[in-house]
Amino acid sequence: MKIISLVNHKGGVGKTTSAVNIAAGLCENGFKVLLVDADAQANLTKGLGILEQKEGLYKSFVKGSKLPIIRINNKMDIVPNSIEFAGVELEISSRLARETILKKLLEGISKEYDYIIIDCPPSLGLVTINALVAAEDVLIPVEAEYYAYVGINSIVGIINEVRQQFNKQLRIKGVFYTKYNEKRVLTKEIKSMLMKYFGETMMQTKIRMNVALAEAQLSGKDIFEYNAESNGAKDYRALVNEILKK
């Protein structure tokens, strides 16, 4: 069993899209996967067609109750979220073991899955730290645009800190470009900045800009269900293969 967190404190870079489609790609390979929606915006939950969840991650975080799990299909489950999670960092901020809450919650159920994929909120606060403490691997989607590298040092900083304080085995499994536009060449500067930070962990696969990915999310499906022939499906399939080989 492996826990992978998708982290980037910028919003809109493709964390949620990647979480669901990497999970679906792993399911295609025969693995049993649990998705954890750790963002109060609940885009992952809604993007899988689940509406109005009363019992989400919030209650488990704050009261320690068992994780609520919803079955998507026979390979994929999700821990849903909802807007009430927005205040959770404040509520747990004075707890003694506030960084290890998610790790402990997942310990109880982890043996039922091959992979647990955690979709993080667009911040490097306590929830993302919880996701990093719980995980073995981090995947970092970066939007292929001019300022892609701005703020990257904060992500690397927090990963290093979590590694030192809580989780020695934590590693950056891969950094990959999302919303990649083949016609717009990324400047040498961006590529070399990212190479400097991440070196070998830069993935070969780039996720191209593909409207089917946004449409799939709106129709409550993963990209393989929505359009298995789309560039989005091809790219996420390639990314999953690369993740499995690494």
Ligand X SMILES: Nc1ncnc2c1ncn2[C@@H]1O[C@H](COP(=O)(O)OP(=O)(O)O)[C@@H](O)[C@H]1O
Residues 129 and 99 sit within 8 Å (Cβ to Cβ)? yes
Nearer CB in complex with ligand X: 42/134: 42
The torsion defined by the Cα of 240, 242, 245 and 246, in degrees rounded to 10, comes to -110
Report the partner that residue 13 touches, choosing among Mg ion, ligand X, none (CB closer than 5 to 8 A by kind): ligand X
Report the partner that residue 46 touches, choosing among Mg ion, ligand X, none (CB closer than 5 to 8 A by kind): none
Instruction: Summarize as ranges the residues that interact with ligand X (CB under 6 A).
Output: 11-17, 43, 122, 178-179, 207, 209-211, 213-214, 217
Q: How far apart are CA 246 and CA 244, in angstroms?
A: 6
Nearest residue to the partner Mg ion, using Cβ = 16
Report the partner that residue 129 touches, choosing among ligand X, Mg ion, none (CB closer than 5 to 8 A by kind): none
Nearest approach, Cβ of residue 178 and ligand X (Å):
5
Report the partner that residue 210 touches, choosing among ligand X, Mg ion, none (CB closer than 5 to 8 A by kind): ligand X
Nearer CB in complex with Mg ion: 16/205: 16
Chain centroid to Cα 215, Å, comes to 19
Nearest approach, Cβ of residue 91 and ligand X (Å):
23
Considering only residues 5, 8, 43, 45, which one is a binding residue for Mg ion as defined by CB under 5 A?
43
Residues 196 and 32 sit within 8 Å (Cβ to Cβ)? no
**Binding interface with Mg ion (CB under 5 A):** 15-16, 43
